[in-house]
Structure 1
Amino acid sequence: MTVYQDREAFIPYSRRDIIELCIKDGKLPEYSLQKFRDFCSILLAYYHFKLHKTLEILKKNYAPFNPDANTKYIVDYSDSELATMKTKVVQSFAEILEKGNYYPISKASLERAFQEMSLIELKTDIDFDDFEEMVCYCRGDIYQTYSFKRFFRKIEKKIDIFERVALLIKCKEKKDGHTSDNSLEDPHLIPSKIYISLYKNIPKNDIEFLFPNVKISMTLKDRLMLVVPAIGAAVPIALKILPQLLLIIGVIVFLVFGPSSVEQLKLRANPEDVKNMTGLLLASLSLLVTLGGFCFKQYSQYKTKQIKFQKQVTETLFFKNIANNAGVFQTLVDDAEEEECKEIILVYYHLLTSNTSLTPEQLDDKIEVWMEENFDTKIDFDINGPLNNLTKIQGKILRDGEDEDEVSEIPLLTYDENGCCQVLPLDDAKQLIDYIWDNAFHYA
């Protein structure tokens, strides 16, 4: 089984399309096509029902942490209960993301991304110590071409983006009712709540836009553009002024305090000297004003970058936001349902149509090659997930005249003595899942 570092497990086709791709592959006999469609249909319904339970558990545990809640509670949870529920929310959130073939972004990876320049050249910083919990997952690491203007020219640049980014954060509680230097100051962020967001098409180097505590400052280039010209302008002024520094001091004292003060300090500053120094002072003042104007211009450009940065943050949060808080769960559960069904269908189809027995490793390679050769799609198929799911789908196949109590439950997928995978034929597979449906509830 080949492991690819540059591929994802995400399958970029809908489950309906996967079904059609399998049928168009031409390996299923004509009389089995409708049976295959029926099997896929009942399988999709089964997983929709199964993951609906997961959604309800997520919503239940998230309820006291939901900042958008508009319902009242009849139960006051203790601190220990809230801690347990928070842990379940974070763990369930990560689990449902992994089922949807998202993968985690570590703090170290995020910090490396923060160091890279985005389309707007500003230095950004995020303090992870502000957060009690922080979970960030992504999916779809691709390149897109962006067009923008620079020096009256239209430039196209390939940008590395994440097609989906999911973020969960919980801020730290304030101590003694005061905000510490390292804590968040945004009044909209309540430490007792958990904030969850799902975004689309986020440039990898702009992922800091999604964090509420992002801080921006000048880049080294901006600082040099301020400091270097200032030093360059100050040097000739200093060289011109320093030799006559005592004279300048004398002139200033003469102008401010009068001739008597000059005599007391024994400074040389007669009226003729004052007249000769006027040009020098005016020239120096002119250079200082020019320097100040240049620095002000550079600072104004930095402030313009700040405004552009804030504008881009606003556009990101408005146009690229898919869902927030409890609304994210429905989307992620749907993603998990899609991915798990697609994987199971591909595994079942290839085992059903294979002329030879296949080990999990051989099956994994077969599916990856099939996707690449037929649809020019490179994936790193996650074979373990669908195999585990197929073995967990267990039910009974009742023949005519058999007593249900005397029939044992069997899984949809088994392994032979050589470790090769085997699945039930279509008719038996349909009946097995139908049995699971019929026995989903035992209220009667």
Structure 2
Amino acid sequence: MSTTKPNGRSQDAAAEGGSPAADPPGGIELPGHFIPLTRKYLRASLLQQLAEDGADIPQFTNALHCLASWRHSQYRARLLHLLDDYLPFLPDGDTTCLADITDAEKAAAHRRFIDGVQTLLESANYRRLREEDIQALLDAKTPYGLHLNVDLTAFDDVLIYYRGTDKRIREARNPWLLYLRKERFDEPLFQRLFLLLKLKPMERRIEEVMAEDGIDRARAEKKVRRIRGALPVGVTSSHIYLKLFKRIPKIDVEMLFPNTKIAFRPFDKLKLLVTAGGGTVAGVAGTASKLLVATNPITLAIALAGLSGVVFRQVMGFFNTRNRYMMVLAQNLYFCTLANNRGALTLIADRAEEEDTKEDMLLYVFLARRDEVSRADLDEVASEIQTFLQERCGVSVTFDLADACGA
């Protein structure tokens, strides 16, 4: 696995904003701020608690509705502002912007958009993967899947955020045991994974390759164009790409990048060497013996056809192995993708609104249950909320008091 660290705006973003992951993405995750309950269920649980306290339920129902309406209006405005900044970089827009935009205005829109997306993700209780965590995931070996080489230096912006971790049990036959026995192993997952990517401009990337590899401009340009030519049609440095996935195996994060290069596992290389090499040698030996005893053209033609068949079969075996890898890649991306670009931004805004609304309802209700409250009591209120969520709703959450108290 060959990977390199990103530079440019993505490093600046790591320093400027976004909360880093509090624990290694491959380890056990402590309870986070995400409240894994629907707004409807949480509101019903809160109203039931208030009813047991003898509170005026219609009054509280109206208050919670007003809180939700205010949050919806606020996030609708935030989303519209973000979409305005996203328009110059939108890959799949179907409308035309008649107003001219200068380079300075475009750069300012780019900065606002990146910062706004990070703020939105934090509001949705996503955690940012640190640079060292991304590198560790890209370098890790998988016991079952693809090995892909990813060049992170090709990007101006690389943001990866996740929300929630999980694991599933997988079974696979061990090739070193001749596939006679299945082995079970845990496969860690990201329940939700957000990816933002923006390629570096061609000219700047050429200059970087010249400096990195110590080659002239012509060779550097040829190298960069060859690599960019392998990207999907329409992928350019003028666009910002947003991707949202569900239940992505942590070990397969590299397959989400567009500039991946397939690399075979050591066992696959060994298998291809043994089968292709052994089969070809055997075919050549058999053909040679037939040629030595051949006394007519028909025998000679049959021997050469047999040799051609052996070589063709081994070559096709190589490509079939590669095709199986591509099928796994396509299946993972097809079934795990939730939204792209504008749709991903809208979905994140919806999730952020949902999280803030739930936090608002919890804080409002537990403050209202007290006759009076001071700033010194807020930590105690947060503890009561966490106890309520644990005992009545069955979820373990670290309530984000600072976020709930802010607008």
Please give the secondary structure, in 2, of the residue aligned with 1:323.
Answer: strand
**Counterparts in 2 of 1:19 and 1:301: CA distance versus 1, 3 Å:** farther
Q: Percent identity?
A: 24
CA distance in structure 1 between the aligned counterparts of 2:89 and 2:255, rounded to whole angstroms: 23
Q: Assess if the C-alpha contact under 8 Å between 1:40 and 1:345 holds in 2.
A: yes
**Counterparts in 2 of 1:139 and 1:28: CA distance versus 1, 3 Å:** same
State the Cα distance separating 1:30 from its structure 2 match: 4.2
Letter in 2 for 1:334: D
Match of 2:126 in 1: 102
State the Cα distance separating 1:98 from its structure 2 match: 0.6
CA distance in structure 2 between the aligned counterparts of 1:212 and 1:14, rounded to whole angstroms: 34
Q: Assess if the C-alpha contact under 8 Å between 1:120 and 1:309 holds in 2.
A: no
**Counterparts in 2 of 1:127 and 1:30: CA distance versus 1, 3 Å:** same
Of the structure 1 ranges 141-150 and 195-204, higher mean CA displacement relative to structure 2 is found in 141-150
Match of 1:307 in 2: 323
1:207 aligns with 2:207: no
Gaps of 5+ in 1: 234-288, 390-444
Please give the secondary structure, in 2, of the residue aligned with 1:51.
Answer: helix
1:84 aligns with 2:108: yes
Match of 2:210 in 1: none
State the Cα distance separating 1:200 from its structure 2 match: 1.3
Give the structure-1-normalised TM-score. Answer: 0.66
Q: Assess if the C-alpha contact under 8 Å between 1:200 and 1:321 holds in 2.
A: yes
1:74 aligns with 2:118: no
Letter in 2 for 1:332: I
CA distance in structure 1 between the aligned counterparts of 2:241 and 2:120, rounded to whole angstroms: 17
Match of 1:38 in 2: 62
State the Cα distance separating 1:35 from its structure 2 match: 1.2
**Counterparts in 2 of 1:94 and 1:350: CA distance versus 1, 3 Å:** same
Q: Deviations over 1:355-385 (max 9, x none)?
A: 7856333223222222222222112221110
Q: Assess if the C-alpha contact under 8 Å between 1:101 and 1:139 holds in 2.
A: yes
RMSD: 3.5
Please give the secondary structure, in 2, of the residue aligned with 1:371.
Answer: helix
Q: Assess if the C-alpha contact under 8 Å between 1:137 and 1:165 holds in 2.
A: yes
Letter in 2 for 1:10: F
Q: Deviations over 1:372-407 (max 9, x none)?
A: 222221122211100123xxxxxxxxxxxxxxxxxx
**Counterparts in 2 of 1:157 and 1:81: CA distance versus 1, 3 Å:** same
State the Cα distance separating 1:222 from its structure 2 match: 3.6
Aligned residue pair count = 331
Please give the secondary structure, in 1, of the residue aligned with 2:31.
Answer: coil
**Counterparts in 2 of 1:314 and 1:226: CA distance versus 1, 3 Å:** closer
**Counterparts in 2 of 1:141 and 1:47: CA distance versus 1, 3 Å:** same
Q: Assess if the C-alpha contact under 8 Å between 1:169 and 1:195 holds in 2.
A: yes
Match of 2:400 in 1: 382
**Counterparts in 2 of 1:367 and 1:70: CA distance versus 1, 3 Å:** same
CA distance in structure 2 between the aligned counterparts of 1:302 and 1:349, rounded to whole angstroms: 64
**Counterparts in 2 of 1:305 and 1:90: CA distance versus 1, 3 Å:** farther
CA distance in structure 2 between the aligned counterparts of 1:152 and 1:300, rounded to whole angstroms: 26
**Counterparts in 2 of 1:318 and 1:17: CA distance versus 1, 3 Å:** same
1:170 aligns with 2:170: no
CA distance in structure 1 between the aligned counterparts of 2:317 and 2:401, rounded to whole angstroms: 53
CA distance in structure 2 between the aligned counterparts of 1:118 and 1:44, rounded to whole angstroms: 44
Q: Assess if the C-alpha contact under 8 Å between 1:162 and 1:202 holds in 2.
A: yes
**Counterparts in 2 of 1:339 and 1:301: CA distance versus 1, 3 Å:** farther
CA distance in structure 1 between the aligned counterparts of 2:52 and 2:81, rounded to whole angstroms: 39
| Structure 1 residue corresponding to 2:380, chosen from 362, 366, 372 | 362
Give the structure-2-normalised TM-score. Answer: 0.71
**Counterparts in 2 of 1:354 and 1:159: CA distance versus 1, 3 Å:** farther
